[in-house]
Structure 1
Amino acid sequence: MSKGIVISPEKCTGCRTCELVCSFYKIDEFNPKDAAISVLSYDEAGIQVPMTCLQCDEPHCMTVCTVNAITKDSKTGIVHVDGEKCIGCKMCVSACPFGNMTYSSRQKKVIKCDLCDGYPQCVRLCPSGALDYKELDSSLQKRKNIASQFVETLREGAK
Protein backbone atom coordinates (compact mmCIF):
# COMPACT_ATOMS: atom_id res chain seq x y z
CA MET A 1 0.00 0.00 0.00
CA SER A 2 1.07 3.55 -0.62
CA LYS A 3 0.26 6.74 1.22
CA GLY A 4 -1.49 9.76 -0.17
CA ILE A 5 -3.29 12.97 0.68
CA VAL A 6 -6.94 12.45 1.50
CA ILE A 7 -9.07 15.58 1.24
CA SER A 8 -12.18 16.29 3.30
CA PRO A 9 -13.82 19.27 1.54
CA GLU A 10 -16.42 19.62 4.27
CA LYS A 11 -13.64 20.58 6.70
CA CYS A 12 -11.96 23.14 4.44
CA THR A 13 -12.46 26.74 5.56
CA GLY A 14 -10.86 28.25 2.46
CA CYS A 15 -7.99 29.77 4.46
CA ARG A 16 -5.55 28.72 1.72
CA THR A 17 -2.83 27.96 4.25
CA CYS A 18 -2.02 24.84 2.23
CA GLU A 19 -1.15 26.95 -0.83
CA LEU A 20 1.07 29.31 1.14
CA VAL A 21 2.84 26.49 2.97
CA CYS A 22 3.44 24.59 -0.26
CA SER A 23 4.95 27.53 -2.13
CA PHE A 24 7.07 28.57 0.83
CA TYR A 25 8.36 25.03 1.40
CA LYS A 26 9.18 24.50 -2.29
CA ILE A 27 10.40 27.91 -3.48
CA ASP A 28 10.92 29.90 -0.29
CA GLU A 29 8.23 32.41 -1.27
CA PHE A 30 4.61 32.89 -0.27
CA ASN A 31 3.08 32.69 -3.74
CA PRO A 32 -0.07 30.56 -4.13
CA LYS A 33 0.30 30.64 -7.93
CA ASP A 34 3.41 28.50 -7.53
CA ALA A 35 1.84 25.98 -5.15
CA ALA A 36 1.24 22.34 -6.05
CA ILE A 37 -2.11 22.47 -4.25
CA SER A 38 -4.94 24.86 -4.97
CA VAL A 39 -8.20 25.61 -3.24
CA LEU A 40 -11.17 25.89 -5.57
CA SER A 41 -14.07 27.99 -4.33
CA TYR A 42 -17.63 27.02 -5.13
CA ASP A 43 -19.49 30.01 -3.75
CA GLU A 44 -22.93 28.82 -4.88
CA ALA A 45 -22.46 25.58 -2.92
CA GLY A 46 -20.64 27.32 -0.09
CA ILE A 47 -17.66 24.99 -0.12
CA GLN A 48 -13.93 25.11 -0.74
CA VAL A 49 -12.17 22.11 -2.28
CA PRO A 50 -8.39 21.66 -2.02
CA MET A 51 -7.04 19.91 -5.12
CA THR A 52 -3.64 18.35 -5.66
CA CYS A 53 -1.98 15.55 -7.61
CA LEU A 54 -3.58 12.17 -6.97
CA GLN A 55 -0.32 10.28 -7.65
CA CYS A 56 -2.18 8.15 -10.21
CA ASP A 57 -1.48 4.45 -10.54
CA GLU A 58 -0.90 4.97 -14.27
CA PRO A 59 -0.02 8.66 -14.60
CA HIS A 60 -1.00 10.20 -17.93
CA CYS A 61 1.55 12.95 -17.31
CA MET A 62 4.31 10.34 -17.25
CA THR A 63 3.01 8.60 -20.37
CA VAL A 64 3.09 11.75 -22.51
CA CYS A 65 6.48 13.01 -21.32
CA THR A 66 8.76 12.70 -24.34
CA VAL A 67 11.98 13.18 -22.36
CA ASN A 68 11.16 10.79 -19.48
CA ALA A 69 11.32 13.61 -16.94
CA ILE A 70 8.38 12.16 -15.00
CA THR A 71 8.81 8.95 -13.05
CA LYS A 72 6.85 7.03 -10.45
CA ASP A 73 8.62 5.56 -7.43
CA SER A 74 7.58 1.90 -7.28
CA LYS A 75 7.96 1.77 -3.48
CA THR A 76 6.25 5.01 -2.42
CA GLY A 77 3.96 5.61 -5.39
CA ILE A 78 5.14 9.22 -5.59
CA VAL A 79 5.22 10.73 -9.08
CA HIS A 80 8.25 13.00 -9.52
CA VAL A 81 9.24 15.54 -12.15
CA ASP A 82 12.97 15.80 -12.81
CA GLY A 83 13.54 19.52 -13.35
CA GLU A 84 16.86 18.87 -15.06
CA LYS A 85 15.27 16.71 -17.76
CA CYS A 86 12.03 18.67 -18.18
CA ILE A 87 11.99 20.83 -21.33
CA GLY A 88 8.85 22.75 -20.37
CA CYS A 89 6.66 21.51 -23.23
CA LYS A 90 3.61 21.37 -20.91
CA MET A 91 2.30 18.13 -22.43
CA CYS A 92 1.99 16.71 -18.92
CA VAL A 93 -0.13 19.68 -17.83
CA SER A 94 -2.51 19.02 -20.74
CA ALA A 95 -2.57 15.27 -20.05
CA CYS A 96 -3.61 15.45 -16.40
CA PRO A 97 -7.32 14.49 -16.38
CA PHE A 98 -7.84 16.31 -13.08
CA GLY A 99 -6.00 19.54 -13.93
CA ASN A 100 -3.68 19.06 -10.98
CA MET A 101 -0.48 20.07 -12.75
CA THR A 102 0.42 23.61 -13.73
CA TYR A 103 3.24 25.45 -15.40
CA SER A 104 4.85 28.46 -13.78
CA SER A 105 5.92 30.91 -16.46
CA ARG A 106 7.70 32.86 -13.73
CA GLN A 107 9.75 29.85 -12.62
CA LYS A 108 9.83 28.24 -16.08
CA LYS A 109 8.92 24.83 -14.68
CA VAL A 110 6.09 22.38 -14.13
CA ILE A 111 4.48 22.41 -10.70
CA LYS A 112 3.21 19.09 -9.39
CA CYS A 113 2.79 17.72 -5.89
CA ASP A 114 5.49 15.24 -4.87
CA LEU A 115 4.08 14.78 -1.35
CA CYS A 116 7.16 16.61 -0.05
CA ASP A 117 8.94 13.27 -0.42
CA GLY A 118 6.64 11.62 2.12
CA TYR A 119 6.10 14.47 4.57
CA PRO A 120 3.55 16.83 3.01
CA GLN A 121 3.75 20.22 4.65
CA CYS A 122 0.24 21.23 3.59
CA VAL A 123 -1.16 18.35 5.65
CA ARG A 124 1.04 19.11 8.61
CA LEU A 125 -0.06 22.75 8.77
CA CYS A 126 -3.72 22.57 7.70
CA PRO A 127 -5.53 24.27 10.60
CA SER A 128 -8.93 22.66 9.96
CA GLY A 129 -7.81 19.07 9.35
CA ALA A 130 -9.18 19.08 5.81
CA LEU A 131 -6.02 17.32 4.60
CA ASP A 132 -4.76 13.99 5.87
CA TYR A 133 -1.79 11.88 4.78
CA LYS A 134 -2.45 8.21 5.26
CA GLU A 135 -2.31 4.73 3.83
CA LEU A 136 -4.56 4.33 0.83
CA ASP A 137 -6.45 1.08 0.65
CA SER A 138 -7.48 -0.85 -2.42
CA SER A 139 -10.50 1.41 -2.93
CA LEU A 140 -8.25 4.23 -4.16
CA GLN A 141 -9.65 4.07 -7.69
CA LYS A 142 -13.18 4.16 -6.33
CA ARG A 143 -12.34 7.29 -4.32
CA LYS A 144 -10.71 8.89 -7.37
CA ASN A 145 -13.84 8.25 -9.39
CA ILE A 146 -16.06 9.71 -6.67
CA ALA A 147 -13.77 12.73 -6.36
CA SER A 148 -13.85 13.41 -10.09
CA GLN A 149 -17.66 13.09 -10.10
CA PHE A 150 -17.82 15.48 -7.12
CA VAL A 151 -15.68 18.04 -8.92
CA GLU A 152 -17.67 17.67 -12.14
CA THR A 153 -20.94 18.18 -10.25
CA LEU A 154 -19.54 21.32 -8.65
CA ARG A 155 -18.33 22.63 -11.99
CA GLU A 156 -21.77 22.11 -13.53
CA GLY A 157 -23.37 23.92 -10.58
CA ALA A 158 -21.01 26.86 -11.01
CA LYS A 159 -22.06 27.44 -14.63
Structure 2
Amino acid sequence: MQKVLHIDPAKCTGCLQCEMACSFENYGTYATSKSRIKVFDFHHTGRKVPYTCTQCDEAWCLHACPVEAITVDKVTGAKVVNETTCVGCKVCTIACPFGTVNYVQETGKVQKCDLCGGDPACADACPTGAITFIDANWTGIDRMKQWADKLGNQTAAA
Protein backbone atom coordinates (compact mmCIF):
# COMPACT_ATOMS: atom_id res chain seq x y z
CA MET A 1 0.00 0.00 0.00
CA GLN A 2 1.43 3.35 -1.10
CA LYS A 3 1.08 6.24 1.30
CA VAL A 4 1.21 9.97 0.66
CA LEU A 5 1.57 13.13 2.67
CA HIS A 6 -1.81 14.75 3.11
CA ILE A 7 -1.80 18.44 3.97
CA ASP A 8 -4.80 20.17 5.52
CA PRO A 9 -3.95 23.89 5.50
CA ALA A 10 -6.95 24.71 7.69
CA LYS A 11 -5.20 22.93 10.59
CA CYS A 12 -1.79 24.60 10.17
CA THR A 13 -0.84 27.13 12.86
CA GLY A 14 2.54 28.01 11.37
CA CYS A 15 4.48 26.53 14.29
CA LEU A 16 7.23 25.27 11.94
CA GLN A 17 7.60 21.98 13.83
CA CYS A 18 7.46 20.20 10.45
CA GLU A 19 10.39 22.24 9.13
CA MET A 20 12.41 21.67 12.28
CA ALA A 21 11.74 17.91 12.26
CA CYS A 22 12.67 17.66 8.58
CA SER A 23 15.97 19.50 8.97
CA PHE A 24 16.88 17.42 12.02
CA GLU A 25 15.96 14.14 10.27
CA ASN A 26 18.04 14.97 7.20
CA TYR A 27 20.89 17.09 8.57
CA GLY A 28 20.97 16.50 12.32
CA THR A 29 20.34 20.18 13.02
CA TYR A 30 17.31 22.33 13.75
CA ALA A 31 17.49 24.80 10.87
CA THR A 32 14.34 25.64 8.92
CA SER A 33 16.50 26.81 6.01
CA LYS A 34 17.57 23.18 5.48
CA SER A 35 14.05 21.78 5.55
CA ARG A 36 12.56 19.96 2.56
CA ILE A 37 9.10 21.10 3.61
CA LYS A 38 8.24 24.78 3.87
CA VAL A 39 5.37 26.63 5.47
CA PHE A 40 4.16 29.41 3.20
CA ASP A 41 2.80 32.42 5.06
CA PHE A 42 -0.05 34.27 3.34
CA HIS A 43 0.47 37.53 5.20
CA HIS A 44 -2.68 39.20 3.87
CA THR A 45 -4.95 36.45 5.26
CA GLY A 46 -2.89 35.12 8.15
CA ARG A 47 -3.11 31.59 6.69
CA LYS A 48 -0.16 29.21 6.79
CA VAL A 49 0.19 26.39 4.25
CA PRO A 50 2.82 23.63 4.41
CA TYR A 51 4.09 22.49 1.03
CA THR A 52 6.59 19.94 -0.19
CA CYS A 53 7.10 17.50 -3.05
CA THR A 54 3.84 15.79 -3.95
CA GLN A 55 5.66 12.74 -5.38
CA CYS A 56 3.62 13.25 -8.56
CA ASP A 57 3.11 10.44 -11.04
CA GLU A 58 4.43 12.55 -13.92
CA ALA A 59 7.68 13.24 -12.02
CA TRP A 60 8.96 15.99 -14.29
CA CYS A 61 12.05 16.27 -12.11
CA LEU A 62 12.93 12.61 -12.67
CA HIS A 63 12.42 12.78 -16.44
CA ALA A 64 14.36 16.04 -16.76
CA CYS A 65 17.48 14.86 -14.92
CA PRO A 66 20.22 14.35 -17.53
CA VAL A 67 22.27 12.03 -15.28
CA GLU A 68 19.36 9.98 -13.87
CA ALA A 69 20.11 11.08 -10.31
CA ILE A 70 16.41 10.93 -9.37
CA THR A 71 14.89 7.48 -9.02
CA VAL A 72 11.68 6.00 -7.64
CA ASP A 73 11.89 4.24 -4.28
CA LYS A 74 10.13 0.93 -4.91
CA VAL A 75 8.77 0.73 -1.36
CA THR A 76 7.53 4.28 -0.76
CA GLY A 77 7.05 5.52 -4.31
CA ALA A 78 9.06 8.63 -3.43
CA LYS A 79 11.19 10.28 -6.07
CA VAL A 80 14.62 10.26 -4.42
CA VAL A 81 17.73 12.27 -5.29
CA ASN A 82 20.97 10.26 -5.28
CA GLU A 83 23.49 12.86 -4.09
CA THR A 84 26.42 10.84 -5.42
CA THR A 85 25.01 10.93 -8.96
CA CYS A 86 23.60 14.48 -8.85
CA VAL A 87 25.83 17.00 -10.64
CA GLY A 88 23.92 20.06 -9.42
CA CYS A 89 22.83 21.22 -12.88
CA LYS A 90 19.43 22.37 -11.49
CA VAL A 91 17.45 21.12 -14.50
CA CYS A 92 15.08 19.31 -12.11
CA THR A 93 14.42 22.54 -10.20
CA ILE A 94 13.28 24.15 -13.44
CA ALA A 95 11.22 21.12 -14.46
CA CYS A 96 9.26 20.93 -11.20
CA PRO A 97 6.09 22.99 -11.67
CA PHE A 98 5.60 23.24 -7.91
CA GLY A 99 9.03 24.56 -6.95
CA THR A 100 9.68 21.81 -4.43
CA VAL A 101 13.11 20.68 -5.68
CA ASN A 102 15.71 23.01 -4.21
CA TYR A 103 19.38 23.66 -4.89
CA VAL A 104 21.61 23.54 -1.80
CA GLN A 105 24.52 25.98 -2.10
CA GLU A 106 26.67 24.21 0.53
CA THR A 107 26.61 20.84 -1.26
CA GLY A 108 26.16 21.95 -4.86
CA LYS A 109 23.38 19.37 -5.15
CA VAL A 110 19.58 19.42 -5.06
CA GLN A 111 17.26 18.20 -2.35
CA LYS A 112 13.61 17.24 -2.23
CA CYS A 113 11.30 15.31 0.04
CA ASP A 114 11.98 11.58 0.05
CA LEU A 115 9.24 10.74 2.58
CA CYS A 116 11.96 9.90 5.12
CA GLY A 117 12.03 6.34 3.85
CA GLY A 118 8.36 5.82 4.70
CA ASP A 119 8.18 7.51 8.10
CA PRO A 120 7.98 11.26 7.40
CA ALA A 121 9.35 13.30 10.29
CA CYS A 122 7.13 16.26 9.36
CA ALA A 123 3.93 14.24 9.83
CA ASP A 124 5.17 12.80 13.13
CA ALA A 125 6.05 16.28 14.42
CA CYS A 126 2.88 18.11 13.37
CA PRO A 127 0.94 18.82 16.59
CA THR A 128 -2.35 19.74 14.86
CA GLY A 129 -2.65 16.99 12.26
CA ALA A 130 -2.20 19.44 9.39
CA ILE A 131 0.29 16.97 7.92
CA THR A 132 -0.58 13.28 7.93
CA PHE A 133 0.78 10.25 6.11
CA ILE A 134 -2.20 8.39 4.67
CA ASP A 135 -3.13 5.62 2.28
CA ALA A 136 -2.80 6.98 -1.26
CA ASN A 137 -6.06 5.29 -2.25
CA TRP A 138 -8.05 7.41 0.20
CA THR A 139 -9.47 9.54 -2.57
CA GLY A 140 -12.47 9.73 -4.86
CA ILE A 141 -15.90 8.52 -3.77
CA ASP A 142 -14.85 7.25 -0.34
CA ARG A 143 -13.34 10.62 0.52
CA MET A 144 -16.40 12.52 -0.72
CA LYS A 145 -18.68 10.18 1.25
CA GLN A 146 -16.68 10.77 4.43
CA TRP A 147 -16.94 14.56 3.97
CA ALA A 148 -20.67 14.27 3.30
CA ASP A 149 -21.10 12.27 6.50
CA LYS A 150 -19.11 14.89 8.41
CA LEU A 151 -21.45 17.57 7.12
CA GLY A 152 -24.54 15.68 8.28
CA ASN A 153 -25.56 14.32 4.90
CA GLN A 154 -27.09 11.13 6.26
CA THR A 155 -30.00 9.32 4.68
CA ALA A 156 -33.29 10.91 5.67
CA ALA A 157 -35.79 8.82 7.65
CA ALA A 158 -38.86 7.77 5.61
Query: Shift of residue 129 of structure 1?
Result: 1.1
Contact 2:76 2:115 in 1 (8 A): no
How far did 1:119 drift? 0.2
SS in 2 for 1:53: coil
Q: Residue 24 of structure 1 aligns with which residue?
A: 24
**Cα RMSD after superposing both structures:** 1.5
5+ long unaligned stretches in structure 2: 141-158
The TM-score, its normalising length taken from structure 2, stands at: 0.84
Bigger helix share: 1
Shift of 1:33: 1.4
How many Å separate the matches in 2 of 1:16 and 1:46? 15
Structure 1: 5+ residue stretches without partners: 141-159
Task: Tell which deviates more after alignment, 104-113 or 52-61.
Answer: 104-113
Percent of paired sites with the same residue? 43
For residue 9 of structure 2, what is the aligned residue in structure 1? 9
Residue 31 of structure 1: how far off its partner (Å): 1.5
Alpha-carbon distance in 2 for matches of 1:138, 1:32:
30
- Contact residue 6 and residue 134 of structure 2 kept, 8 A: yes
> Residue in 2 aligned with 1:137?
137
The count of residues paired between Structure 1 and Structure 2 equals: 140
Partner SS state of residue 116, structure 1: helix
Equivalent residue of 2:51, what SS?
A: strand
3-state DSSP of counterpart to 1:124: helix
String of CA shifts for 1:13-70, please: whole Å, max 9, x gaps.
0011111110111011111111110000002122100001000112000011000000
